[in-house]
Amino acid sequence: MAAGVPDHIHACLFDLDGVLTQTAIVHARAWKKTFDDFLRQRATATGETFTPFDPVTDYDRYVDGRSRADGTRGFLQARGIVLPDGTPDDPPGSDTIYGLSNKKNQFLLGLLATDGVKSYPGSVRYLDSVQASGLHTAVVSASENCHAVLAAAGLEGRFDAVIDGVVAKRDKLAGKPAPDTYLAAAAALGAPAAAAAVYEDALAGVQAGRAGQFGWVVGVDRVGQAADLRADGADVVVTDLAELLTADHRDE
User: Per the residue annotation, which of 17, 58, 164, 232 is the catalytic one?
Assistant: 17
Alpha-carbon distance 138 to 103, whole Å? Answer: 29
Name the residue among 173, 94, 108, 189 with its Cα closest to residue 141. 173
Alpha-carbon distance 107 to 27, whole Å? Answer: 9
What proportions of the chain, in percent to the nearest 5, are helix, strand and coil? 50, 10, 40
Name the DSSP class of 93: T
17 is catalytic: yes
In a 3-state reduction of DSSP, which class is residue 9? coil
Q: At what angle do helices 203-211 and 180-188 cross, to 10 degrees?
A: 60
CB-count burial class (<10 Å; 0-12, 13-18, 19+) for 67:
buried
The answer to whether the beta carbons of residues 24 and 35 sit under 8 Å apart is no
CB atoms within 10 A of CB 120: 20
Name the residue among 182, 188, 145, 148 with its Cα closest to residue 15. 182
54 is catalytic: no
Bridge partners for 236 per DSSP? 218
Active-site residue set? 15, 17
